[in-house]
Amino acid sequence: MEHTDVARTVKEAIIREASFDMNAAELDELSRFGEDIRVDSITFIRIVISVEEELDVETPDDALMQTQFKTVADLIEFFVGVVEEQHT
């Protein structure tokens, strides 16, 4: 799966789960979860679950606990790594 496909999947999950009125192209990858797009922890977990289901991957809980997700790009890169690890 290409980086752009993962990025689109993550962005679409963020938009859907956070109920934003925009499309994936409008969501800046440098947007910060806390400060810019105001995603709370419950919504963040729903985003992660949605992305896992769409990409058919499972993220280890300890990996989620050890990673700092400040921006949309951080979450995209995390899932790029998970997809590469689990689909190769």
Is 49 inside any structural domain?
A: yes
pLDDT digits 0-9 by tens, 15-40: 999 999 998 999 999 999 999 999 99
pLDDT at 63: 84
| Domain with 29 in it | 3-82
Going by C-alpha positions, the residue among 59, 20, 58 that lies closest to residue 36 is 20
Question: Contact at 8 Å (CB) between 20 and 37?
Answer: yes
Cα 62 from Cα 64, distance rounded (Å) = 5
Q: What is the mean pLDDT of residues 2-25?
A: 95
DSSP 1: -
What's the number of domains the chain is made of? 1
pLDDT digits 0-9 by tens, 41-83: 999 999 999 999 999 999 988 888 878 899 999 999 999 999 9
pLDDT digits 0-9 by tens, 57-66: 999 888 888 7
CATH number of the domain at 23, please. Answer: 1.10.1200.10
